[in-house]
Amino acid sequence: MRPETFIDVLQRRLGDPIGISYRLRQSPMRKTWCIEQRVGNANPDGPEDRYHDDAIRAADGYSLVAETYPSSKFKCPGCGFFIELAPLKFKEYQCSYCYSRGEKNLFFLAYYPFCDKLIEHLERTSPKRNHVWMEEQRVKNAQVRASRQRAKMNDIEAILKEHAGGVVGVASTTDVRPW
Ligand SMILES: [Zn+2]
């Protein structure tokens, strides 16, 4: 989707329910898109630097949530050639041109285009939704506990069945096991 649509959807789905303002800004320094959320008031006396991301965010009262590349082509800082990034995956890339020159230029990169998957990702990792995540974890843990308990009970039942004749004294001529 287009950047404007993306930020609209993000604001509606993640921002509005808990009163957070999101904005999308192109970083002049890193040539990336910055997804930022408002954390305070703008500082009129803040630094006038409009190039460094930290200075811009400090002046505007925003903090960084995520950063994404504008396209799937990443320019290798070693040689200037482009590396094609696989979408929606965080992985390791080695610039093949640098590699052939005997230089190790390894990058760990992820390319998330503006799509539903990115919104879902942000939704999942939003600290404000921690209680939802904790609840999922609690349900999962309860299931694991129940299945372990069931497995133990099965073991106990199996042992009891095996020794049932001896334990309850069922008369059986073949049951001669000492217990
Ligand atoms: Zn390179």
Q: Could you read off the pLDDT of 93-130 as tens digits, one per residue? A: 999 999 999 988 888 888 899 998 888 888 887 777 77
- Taking the centre of ligand 1 as the mean of its atom positions, its distance from the CA of residue 104, in whole angstroms, is 9
pLDDT beyond 70 at 176? no
Residue 67 belongs to what H/E stretch?
strand 62-68
Q: Which helix (H) or strand (E) is 125 found in, with range?
A: helix 116-125
The pLDDT tens digits for 23-51 are: 999 998 888 899 999 998 888 777 788 88
CA 102 – ligand 1 centroid, Å: 10
Contact 149, 41 (CB under 8 A): no
What is the Å distance from ligand 1's center to 117 Cα?
29
Q: What is the pTM of this model?
A: 0.66
How far is it, in rounded angstroms, from Cα 123 to Cα 130? 10
Ligand 1 centroid from CA 72, angstroms: 16
